[in-house]
Amino acid sequence: MSAAAIIEAQELGRWYGPVVGLSDLSVNVPPGVTGLVGPNGAGKSTLLKLIAGELRPSRGAVKVLGQAPFANRELYRRLGFAPQQDALYGHLSGLEFVSLLLQLGGFSRKDARSRAASSLERVGLGADMSRRTRGYSKGMRQRTKLAQAIAHEPELLIVDEPLTGLDPLGRRELLALFAEMGEAGTSILLSSHVLHEVESLTQEVILLHRGRLLAQGGVGEIRTLLSRHPRRVTLVAREPRALARLLVEREEASALAIDGRRLSVETSDLPELLRALTPIAAAERVGLEEIQSPDASLEAVFDYLVG
């Protein structure tokens, strides 16, 4: 294992019958906070479960903190894992749920309860820890999963889409918690399908697509890759042909197509195109009514980069 890596995967693969979840992935993850980014179905959850020891590799190998994670009870004490799946015991309170998992991990009843209460306070559930989890909202359930993952103070925290279901305030609070933990020395591997959610925490980003490594590097490098993606913009206008004549000579508009009142424009410089549209719409009276970017999703960007 590389001295600088806390996670090292070599030709790692995992499949479920004919379905490939991860394919020949080789990647090193350094200490600190790392973002794992990719569209839905990219293989993020499969990779995190392999790292957390929930799955056995179908081929290749993965080492976490220098050890193979599958069925490794000693290593589990050093890891915290908040999965994407929601599997709380509804008849238990948040405090009882987290305490139970800590006791299963070897903590005494008294220590488990103290740690559980502290971690639930830390994730913002102090006032609700005695309520049964069946009455928790999606955001509260997310916080409970995170509380059980951090209650034993792990060296490495693995979190799968932790911000899903949270309101903007909840997202800010959890991002602040992750930043605080990272600054205190906890390594964190955080998955998301939204790049901007993780870039406030880290400069190290891993991009996955269809079970393979697409890119790894700093946020600046990744943004350079993404900025090369030509964007298709749909303009709805009262006079689409007049608008097309005004745009056809512009360098940032590389291809145009008209369908009724809709003008489709392909551009490699979306900000410049939008800046150009403002005076055109105001001065030429083409009746610009709507601007849409139908391929702005991360999935579309990744398909472009793969191609």
Domains of the chain, earliest start first: 7-226 (3.40.50.300), 229-306 (3.30.70)
CA 7, CA 31: separation in Å to the nearest integer?
Answer: 9
pLDDT of residue 266: 83
pLDDT of residue 223: 63
- Between residues 300 and 203, which one has the greater pLDDT? 203
Q: What is the mean pLDDT of residues 32-44?
A: 90
Q: pTM for the full model?
A: 0.76
pLDDT of residue 35: 93
pLDDT at 304 over 70: no
Short-list 139, 134, 154, CA closest to 94: 134
- Between residues 3 and 113, which one has the greater pLDDT? 113
C-alpha angle 102-63-29 in degrees, rounded to nearest 5:
95
pLDDT of residue 252: 81
Q: C-alpha distances in angstroms, 247 versus 31, 231, 244, 262, 274? A: 48, 15, 5, 14, 11
Q: What is the mean pLDDT of residues 45-54?
A: 97
Tell me, rounded to whole angstroms, the distance of Cα 143 from its chain centroid: 16
* Contact predicate 128/140, CB 8 Å: yes
- Between residues 61 and 304, which one has the greater pLDDT? 61
pLDDT at 284 over 90: no
Short-list 154, 196, 155, 193, CA closest to 175: 196
pLDDT at 204 over 50: yes
Q: How confident is the model at residue 297 (pLDDT cuts 50, 70, 90)?
A: very low
Could you please report the per-residue DSSP string of 244-303?
Answer: HHHHTT-TTEEEEEEETTEEEEEES-HHHHHHHHHHHHHHH---EEEEE-TT-SHHHHHH
pLDDT at 2 over 70: no
Q: How confident is the model at residue 132 (pLDDT cuts 50, 70, 90)?
A: very high
For 104-124, write each residue's pLDDT tens digit.
999 999 999 999 999 999 999
Q: How confident is the model at residue 228 (pLDDT cuts 50, 70, 90)?
A: low
Phi-psi map region of 65: left, alpha, beta (phi>0 left; psi -120 to 50 alpha) = left
pLDDT of residue 272: 80
